[in-house]
Structure 1
Amino acid sequence: MLRRYLLVNGISTAVLYGAILALAPVVPHVLMSARETLSSIAMESPALAPIVYRIVIVQGGGG
């Protein structure tokens, strides 16, 4: 029973870490495209532009 638990736990941990490593290069591109989409939506809306640009500058300006 303990052997089965350790085997399943080891395999699931390896799969989880493999998935994280496989998705790691994708995450910055997804965040960049989301920021560009939000920026393009805010450019078209005079009411949303000041709100969104303040949030983006405060949150993403840590460079």
Structure 2
Amino acid sequence: MTLRFTAPEDAASVVPFFDPHALEICVEPDLRRRFLDSVHESARRGDFLFAFTMWITMGRVASA
């Protein structure tokens, strides 16, 4: 399954590194500011895109 986001706010609901509060825990302030500035600039231009693919598997145990 590929998840695709065209707004940082939507991506933040699933991917913590688009959430400013989550970034405060592990990213130094200047780097966090520069990253989020670039993300929001991209969103303002209308070319923000974040996509990633995850694999989901399912199975069942055969009857004994």
Which category describes the TM-score, using the shorter chain as reference length? 0.3 to 0.5
Larger RCO (alpha carbons 8 Å, 6+ apart): 2
- Which has more strand, going by share of residues? 2
- Which has more helix, going by share of residues? 1
TM-score (norm 2): 0.35
Find the structure with the greater CA-based Rg. 1
